[in-house]
Amino acid sequence: MPDAAVDTALITEPTVLFAFLAAIMGLVFWLSTLPALKKLFTFLPPVIWAYFVPMLATTAGITPAENPLYDWMALYLLPIALLLLMIVVDVPAILRLGKTAIIMMLAGTLGIVIGGPITFAIFGGLFEDPEAWKGFAALSGSWIGGTANLVAVQEGVGASANTLAPLLVVDVVVGYGWMGVLLFLSAFQDRFDRWVGADMSVVKALNRRLEAVDEERRPANITDLAMLVGIGFAGAVLARALGGFLPALGDPTIISQGTWAILIIVTVGLALSFTPLQKLEQVGASRVGYLALYLLLTSIGAKADLAAVLTVPLYLLAGAFWISIHILILFVVARLVRAPLFFVATGSMANIGGAASAPIVAGVYLPAMAPVGLLMAVAGYILGIYAAFGCAYLISLVA
C-alpha cells in the first residue's frame, strides 16, 4: 500500500485507531441484537460488518491501510485467541471428523497449485515486469499457508520488493474479498448441504457436544477474568519470546520465528486442554478468544484499501481468475465427497487466510467449531510450504 494512505488518513494515532476499531465492532454486534435488524443480520452476519466497515473506512481515508497498530494486533491478539481457543478444545472429538476435513483442505491446496501456472500462462505475457512470475510464485505461498510461506517462497525465488508490491494488493483485496464472500455464504449452508447431500451427522454431533458446555456455564467473576486475561497475554508474550530464540529452519526459510511462536502457542494450548484448565470454558474462555479474533478481523479489514484496486487492475484480474480455479475445484470435490459447506469454507481459509482467518470463518458457520479451522490452518503452515514451492516451480516453467 502506498505511504500516502498513512499520511493522509484522518485517524493514525495507534490508541485512537484501536478505539475506533473496537467501537465499530461493539456497535455492529449491538445492532445485531435489535429486533428490527434481525433479518438483515441473518443474511449478513455481524462478522461481515466488522470486516467490511473498517475496509470502507480506509477507502474513505478515515483509517490508514498501514499502521503499527495492525502489526501489534497480529502479534498479540492472534496468539491470545489461539491459546484460549485451544485450551478448551475437545481434541478426541475433533479427530473424529476424519477424512472429509483433510480432503477439503488438500482440495483447496490443489486449486492454488494448479491455478498458479494456468493463470500465468494466460496473463503472464501482459505484465511489463519481466520478473512478475516471481511475485505470483510468492503469492502462492501466501495462499497456501499464510504469510510465513509467502516470505519463504519470496526468498526462494528472489522476488524483489517492487515485483512483490502489486501482488500484496492482490493478496489483500482478492484473498480477503473471498473471505467476505465465505462469511456471506454462511447464511446459505443448509441449502448447499442439501444440494450436495452432505452427511452432517458427525459434524452436528461434535457441534452439539462442544455447545453442551454452554449448559455448564456460570457468570465469570473477577478472578476468572483475571485468569483469562493473564493466561492470554502471558502466553502470547512467552510464545513470541521463545519463538525469537528458536532458529529459522530451511534455506529459504520454511519455519520462521513467527511460525515457531504460533506452533508453540497451539501446542501448549492443546496440552493444557487435557488439564483442569479446560474448565475455563465454563466462564467463557472461548468467547474471550473470539473477541480477540474479531478485533483482529477489524484490523485485517482496515488494511484493504479498495482504492488500491485501481492501481493494479490487471494483477487483480489475474488474482481473481486464479482464486476462481481454487473455488471451482473446492466445489467439485465437495460435490463428489458430499462435503458440507462448513468444510468447503474452512478448507479454503486454511489455505488462503491461514491461522488468522480460518478459525473466524469456521466459527461463523458453526460457533463451537473454530478449533477445527485453527488445526486445519496450522497443518497448512507446515504441509503448505512444499506445495507452495511446487507451485512456484510450475509457474517458473510457464514463465
pLDDT digits (tens, 9 = 90+) for 350-365: 888 776 678 888 888 8
**Of the ranges 59-63, 130-134, 332-336, which one carries the lowest mean pLDDT score?**
130-134
Indicate the burial class of 44 (C-beta count within 10 angstroms; 0-12, 13-18, 19 or more). middle
Cα–Cα distance, 39 to 98 (Å, whole number): 35
Give me the chain's average pLDDT, please: 82
All domains of the chain in start order, with CATH: 4-398 (1.20.1530)
Cα–Cα separations (whole angstroms), residue 226 to 58, 64, 240, 345, 351 = 34, 33, 21, 34, 35
Cα–Cα separations (whole angstroms), residue 197 to 75, 119, 202, 338, 362 = 41, 32, 14, 6, 20
Mean pLDDT of all residues in 15-19: 96
Give me the pLDDT at residue 2, please.
41
Cα–Cα distance, 47 to 385 (Å, whole number): 29
CA nearest neighbour of 364 among 175, 201, 185, 186: 186
Q: How confident is the model at residue 1 (pLDDT cuts 50, 70, 90)?
A: very low
Q: In this predicted model, which residue has the larger pLDDT, 161 or 166?
A: 166
Q: Residue 396: which residues within 8 A CB-CB, separation 6 or more? A: 133, 137, 157
Q: In this predicted model, which residue has the larger pLDDT, 110 or 358?
A: 110
Give me the pLDDT at residue 4, please.
40
Q: What percent of the chain has pLDDT over 70?
A: 84
Q: In this predicted model, which residue has the larger pLDDT, 43 or 283?
A: 283
Cα–Cα distance, 166 to 170 (Å, whole number): 7
Cα–Cα distance, 153 to 296 (Å, whole number): 25
Give me the pLDDT at residue 65, please.
85
Q: Give yes or no for a contact between 117 and 86, defined as CB atoms under 8 angstroms apart.
A: no
CA nearest neighbour of 98 among 399, 339, 348, 345: 339
Give me the pLDDT at residue 148, please.
57
pTM above 0.75, yes or no: no
Q: Give yes or no for a contact between 207 and 368, defined as CB atoms under 8 angstroms apart.
A: yes
Give me the pLDDT at residue 23, please.
96
At 43, list the grid cell. Answer: 443474511
46-50, 183-187, 200-204, 308-312 — which one is most confidently predicted on average?
Answer: 183-187
Q: Render 198-212 in DSSP notation, one character per residue.
A: ---HHHHHHHHHHHG
Residue 131 DSSP SS3: coil
Q: Render 300-364 in DSSP notation, one character per residue.
A: HHHT--GGGGGG-HHHHHHHHHHHHHHHHHHHHHHHHHT--HHHHHHHHHHHHTGGGTHHHHHHH
Cα–Cα distance, 156 to 358 (Å, whole number): 26
Cα–Cα distance, 210 to 93 (Å, whole number): 9
Q: Residue 80: which residues within 8 A CB-CB, separation 6 or more? A: 232, 233, 235, 236, 289, 292
3-state helix, strand and coil shares in percent for the chain, rounded to the nearest 5: 80, 0, 20
Is residue 66 scored above 80 in pLDDT? yes
Cα–Cα distance, 199 to 181 (Å, whole number): 24
Cα–Cα separations (whole angstroms), residue 332 to 118, 193, 329, 342, 393 = 18, 13, 5, 15, 25
Is residue 82 scored above 70 in pLDDT? yes
Give me the pLDDT at residue 231, please.
93
